[in-house]
Structure 1
Amino acid sequence: MSFTQGKLCPCNPTTERGVSTKLSATGSKLVYTNGSTVVIRDLADPAGNSTYAGHIQPATVARFSPSGYYCASGDVAGNVRVWDTVGADRILKNEVKTGIKINDLEWDGESKRIIAVGDGKSRMGSVFTFDTGNSAGEIMGHSKPINAVSIRHQRPFRAVTASDDAQIAFFEGAPYKYKKSIKTHTRFVQDVRYAPSGDLFASGGSDGKVFLYDGKTGDVIIELKEGAHSATVMACSWSTDSKSLATSSTDGTVKLWDAETHKIINTWTVGTGIHNQQVGNTWVQEDIVSLSLSGDLSVFDRREAEKPRQILYGAQRPITAFTAALSGTMYAGSYDGRVVSFSDNGAESVKGDGPSSQVTALAAVENKVISTSFDDCVREIDLGTGAFTLMSVGTNGQPKDVACDMDGIYVITSRGLECIKEGKVLSKTPVGSTPSSVATSATLIAVGAEDQKVYLFEKGADPKEVGKLESNRGMITALAFSPSGQLLAAGDSTGRIVLYDVENKEVKTSRWTFHTGRISSIAWTQDGKHAASGSLDTNIYIWSVDKPMSNIAIKNAGTRGVSGVAWVSPNIVASAGADGCVRTWEIKFHD
């Protein structure tokens, strides 16, 4: 058996209310951060999506070099990592420790020097050469954290920084030396960007104002007042021809300005709620990409006057539940309660009255998906409409896992097993120990527990216990019946999977022991000959029933752990993890 990596459905950027999120692009590729992961998202060809997982601490910003061959990314611990964007290995070129919490960074026009800015005890910025880390100037002139930096790519080189002290510092270089402070804004300056031509740069701030400046001297040219934003301007970016400026604001709008006439060209209203606050933007070729506080990325065509041409959805927080419907559509529930579907048509956020807190489990059957969450509710997603239905059933305790079939829905809580059908709780059955996982077959319900045992119940209006399986050595964390119901795979907290013969209540094999962390999910192929498992150890294994010692190891399949696996076709397995990404893997069976 062997495998090849398939498509990557990336997570969306991390956002924080009141904080500008920096986006960057080169060609058709958009780059941003989520947790410790850097995501490269190709808007023209999804096959070009990729991630970089070299940071240990949460990454805050990533920017491509002008040459496009490298990417520099910074994190909260002050580390700037420069890595190769060509090839799949993502070779690290250099790592520089700046000693500041990095809020933004920028390359110079020669792809040689980097300015990193943020918040530190003794300084707010650092200038260095990317290959050696040697100093190439000094960032000064601010008394509070710096939010943004931009560099003029033409000689003579210039640089500007924007700070919470309501000032813009202007630098001449290289090496970069402080020249003067620009005091146009009355509140925090959130973003500052040079036009590609170098003739102008623009700034936006918490006072809702946007200014244009001379790129060489830093002199103020004009404030863009006509049709101005009514709230904080969080981001500004220039078109490739330097003729248009896009600004995004917490008033929920994105505005396009003509840099020559200083007039507004268009205004797009994304929404009025808090989640529709716009906190970042960039140009991807001829399109404007603006980021909502919810993490959604709206793609605007400058010729389209009313609405986004496309909205890019994805998980914004770690994925905590995962399943796949018979159609092959994947569903991922995350730590913040959002459920996102992934299909050949792209990703969509499941609409309707969904969970208000962490999604703990998802299970698919026929034309619906069942979800459980920490708000103690069981909900239903209609696959036809792609939205939550009105069905919402409260549970007698916090639900941990769910299984479902045409006979009903089976939920486990800290208090036992609950059977639900047609929106009503039919029975509440105690279990010998605190339950931790559940699975169902045509005739049985299997409940894994913290006492390392699997309890078997016969289906019915009032399930009756009919046996126990006791060969695991850790808390049962994942259960899955084979399609025929003859076999049961039980994964535990030690990383061990025991395969049981259910009818005889015997161990068929205990050799599926290559994981080194808690088993989070197990899924069977339709023919019942193979099973896939995902674990906290970041790996996926494909196991063979006929040849227990034969397996496929997919190493580092999910940064920070794999939280779910599901088969979307006879030879394609999908996985989701704590990095918020969904990946597919094509498996080649040789046995």
Structure 2
Amino acid sequence: MKRTKLTYIMCLLISCLLLSSSFAQEYAAQWHLPEAAKARLGGGKLNNVIFSPDGTRVAVATAIGIWIYNAHTTKAVSLFSGIQTGEIDKYLPTKPPEALTFSADALIVASAHGNRIYVWDTATGTAFAMLDEHPDAIKAIALSPDNTKLATAGGDWIVRMWEVSTGKYINSLRGHSGAVNAVAFSPDGKILASAGARLRLWDAETGELLNADNEDLGSIDHLAFSPDGKVLASSDGWGHRVHLWDVETSTIQKRLKKHTGKIRDIAFSADGRRLVSVSSDAMRVWNVSTGAELKSLPTPQDKHAQRVPPILKRKELDKAYLPNRRDDVHSVIFSEDTKHLISASKDGSLHIWDVEKGLYQSSFSLGAHSDLISVLAFSADGKYLASNDGFEERIRVWNVENATQHAILTPGQGDFLNPVREITVSSGIQKVAGRDYEGTIRIWDAATAAQLSTVVTDKLQRYWPLVFSPDQKILAGRERLSSDNIELWLIEHGAHLSTLKGHKEAVSEYTFSPDSKIFVSGGGDGTIILWDAETGDQRNSLTGHIKSISALAFSADSKTLASGSGNEIRLWDVHTSNLMGILDTKLNVQALAFSPDGKRLACGTEDGRIQVWDLVPNFQVHSTFTGHQGSIYVLMFSPDGKTLASGGNDGTVLLWDM
């Protein structure tokens, strides 16, 4: 009976774990939600990717925190974004860490932000130590193999040792004559290597200098010990060189010089016989004993972008299709059997390579990490929300109800030399537009990915942002170099409709009225011009702002225009051009959006705050939301007005309950 009960409990446990795993990725993005936000879409703009030494975990530093992923399942297991130390709440700085490292067993992560260090438990996602007494910005950190010591280094020429469990300072290692960019413990923890222009080896217990090499090697920024601790590899980044050192004598044994780009990472195989070095030009595999190059990856054919279906629906997303290039490697590690390499790219993707054949095998995606968000569009029923991905060639479509990624639209996958960039999406998620490097603007049906029309422009002219009229008939764009003019094209045939000339300074913002009859543009001198969208005739100009126009938005009935400039918002009667009111936001305005009933106006600022103003009966702030890191670039209410979506520089979309 006891055995039956135990078996039942184990089965229940396993099923719960499986259920947890299947839902983990869906709800991981909801960890550490800002107050008043009901969902987060995306994991944030990616800054750095590193593997744990044992290859079981991947740390992804983003604008909103540090994600820890299971390298085998690609599921998120932790998000480091806020901590509590003692009785005082302390939060991560707005920018990602300058240095990041795993412990040998992947149980601990240390991150450096300016002159402050956090030590995290990867299982719980909490920080158990914080070191904030470092006198200079930290450039390099390393954890000892037994997780008891932390070494830090920076621009003040000194290497410092700390006790991990308490954050207590131990001692300082002095002997460098310049900035220290890299530190690493030997596998047995007895030796600490540090390097800037020159290499130093220290007794990790006593701090005694063991060996010093005085050859100037430029600027060493990566160090890695072989598994047996007898060989030390160093790379000098922009010098494009890798050096192999004999640890006992502290002398260079091999100089590896075939890289032509900045070296980003180095790693030994588990048997110590091979070393891989990564730069912008290639991943190179070396024979450690001879210094001979064994392989150079990727091969020319593998450098090309991975082709994927133009519309990836949920079932394909679960199979981890990748919509980006795989030669943009920032971190790499050998598999335990040394037969494969696993590389990580800056778009949050993992790629597996066959070392012997030198060929690419497969890819996996770590969450949905986007670049800056500047375009949002709800479906007509409000069930889905589309967002752009900076200047990448994709639109992400999200299920609003469960805050999961529903689809990725990549209709304009160009070839390697003519990729499509600067993708935008129309209201209702009906059409998608983007421009390739040859200068052609392409317009597709969002539901089928069928190309509807093209607009041929000069190759040297880049029109951005591209803005659809709400009725899907007109596309607007501003040429970046001579940006005092705006071009309008007819979507159906791609024909040029009109050139809008009237601004004396560069055009900074523009949009269409909801009824598609009026086009409005704002310039660097604070002037706003209203145009007839069909004829291109100037209807009126609005003056009063003294700074550049940073945001424009119409009310749903097209009768009221809101304009943002500096720390003020002005409300205008579109028919009479009369000023209706001025709102003092105290902060620089970056985005505006009216609620569908016109009773509220949302304002996004450059410091990531959102103010929601009541417009009836009086102008007053109804609520203030904080949660984005950096500027907010776009705001949009759902069709029923119950949800406010915000996107910005941190690469996330936040949904707020209205």
TM-score, reference length from structure 2: 0.65
**Using a 3 Å threshold, how does the CA distance of structure 1 residues 117 and 428 change in structure 2: closer, same or farther?**
same
- Residue 208 of structure 2 corresponds to 177
Mapped to 1, the partners of 2:531 and 2:518 lie a distance apart of 6
Query: Contact between 1:471 and 1:507, CA under 8 Å: does it hold in 2?
Result: no
- Residue 461 of structure 1 corresponds to 535
Matched, 1:108 2:144: yes
Higher strand share: 1
Aligned-pair CA distance for 1:331: 0.9
1:203 is aligned, of 233, 251, 264, to 233
2:426 is aligned, of 364, 367, 391, to 364
User: In percent, how many aligned pairs have the same letter?
Assistant: 12
Query: Contact between 2:145 and 2:188, CA under 8 Å: does it hold in 1?
Result: yes
1:216-365 equivalences in 2 (<5 Å): 234-237=264-267, 247-250=276-279, 252-254=281-283, 268-269=297-298, 276=327, 278-281=329-332, 290=343, 295-301=346-352, 306-310=360-364, 319=372, 321-324=374-377, 326=379, 328-333=385-390, 341-343=395-397, 344=405, 351-352=413-414, 364=426
Mapped to 1, the partners of 2:347 and 2:133 lie a distance apart of 32
1:412-491 equivalences in 2 (<5 Å): 415-421=484-490, 422-424=494-496, 426-431=498-503, 435-441=507-513, 442-450=516-524, 452=526, 454-465=528-539, 467=540, 475-491=548-564
Structure 1, residues 216-251: CA drift from partner, whole Å, max 9, x if none? x578999799xx976676422367x77796623337
Q: Which amino acid aligns with 1:447?
A: S
Mapped to 2, the partners of 1:348 and 1:85 lie a distance apart of 37
Mapped to 2, the partners of 1:440 and 1:224 lie a distance apart of 61
Mapped to 2, the partners of 1:41 and 1:372 lie a distance apart of 35
Query: Contact between 1:158 and 1:170, CA under 8 Å: does it hold in 2?
Result: yes
Aligned-pair CA distance for 1:536: 0.8
Aligned-pair CA distance for 1:588: 2.4
Mapped to 1, the partners of 2:386 and 2:267 lie a distance apart of 36
Mapped to 2, the partners of 1:529 and 1:2 lie a distance apart of 20
Structure 1, residues 250-289: CA drift from partner, whole Å, max 9, x if none? 3744467899999999874176699946454357999965
Aligned-pair CA distance for 1:445: 1.6
Query: Contact between 2:529 and 2:538, CA under 8 Å: does it hold in 1?
Result: no
Indicate the larger mover: 411-420 or 529-538.
411-420
Matched, 1:535 2:605: yes
Structure 1, residues 311-348: CA drift from partner, whole Å, max 9, x if none? 668567xx4843447463311436xxx56543426879
**Using a 3 Å threshold, how does the CA distance of structure 1 residues 230 and 507 change in structure 2: closer, same or farther?**
closer
- Residue 173 of structure 2 corresponds to 138
Structure 1, residues 370-424: CA drift from partner, whole Å, max 9, x if none? 5699x99794464565999964535999978653212323345653444333252
Mapped to 2, the partners of 1:47 and 1:587 lie a distance apart of 25
1:493 is aligned, of 540, 547, 566, to 566
- Residue 632 of structure 2 corresponds to 562
Aligned-pair CA distance for 1:550: 6.2
**Using a 3 Å threshold, how does the CA distance of structure 1 residues 26 and 583 change in structure 2: closer, same or farther?**
farther
Q: Which amino acid aligns with 1:290?
A: S
**Using a 3 Å threshold, how does the CA distance of structure 1 residues 193 and 403 change in structure 2: closer, same or farther?**
same
- Residue 99 of structure 2 corresponds to 61
TM-score, reference length from structure 1: 0.71
- Residue 118 of structure 2 corresponds to 82
Query: Contact between 2:511 and 2:520, CA under 8 Å: does it hold in 1?
Result: yes
Structure 1, residues 482-515: CA drift from partner, whole Å, max 9, x if none? 3442443322221x3344453465666655x4x4
Mapped to 1, the partners of 2:576 and 2:107 lie a distance apart of 60
Structure 1: gaps spanning 5 or more residues: 15-20
Query: Contact between 2:69 and 2:75, CA under 8 Å: does it hold in 1?
Result: yes
Mapped to 1, the partners of 2:435 and 2:605 lie a distance apart of 21
Mapped to 2, the partners of 1:545 and 1:354 lie a distance apart of 50
Mapped to 1, the partners of 2:282 and 2:158 lie a distance apart of 31
Q: Which amino acid aligns with 1:307?
A: Q
Higher helix share: 2
**Using a 3 Å threshold, how does the CA distance of structure 1 residues 320 and 162 change in structure 2: closer, same or farther?**
same
- Residue 67 of structure 2 corresponds to 40
Structure 2: gaps spanning 5 or more residues: 1-34, 83-90, 305-324, 398-404
Aligned-pair CA distance for 1:440: 0.9
Mapped to 1, the partners of 2:453 and 2:342 lie a distance apart of 32
* 2:656 aligned counterpart, secondary structure: strand
Query: Contact between 2:188 and 2:229, CA under 8 Å: does it hold in 1?
Result: no
Structure 1, residues 427-453: CA drift from partner, whole Å, max 9, x if none? 333248764322212211223345655
Q: Which amino acid aligns with 2:193?
A: V
Mapped to 2, the partners of 1:302 and 1:129 lie a distance apart of 38
**Using a 3 Å threshold, how does the CA distance of structure 1 residues 46 and 439 change in structure 2: closer, same or farther?**
farther
Query: Contact between 1:486 and 1:503, CA under 8 Å: does it hold in 2?
Result: yes
Matched, 1:516 2:586: yes
Aligned-pair CA distance for 1:193: 2.2
Query: Contact between 1:128 and 1:136, CA under 8 Å: does it hold in 2?
Result: yes
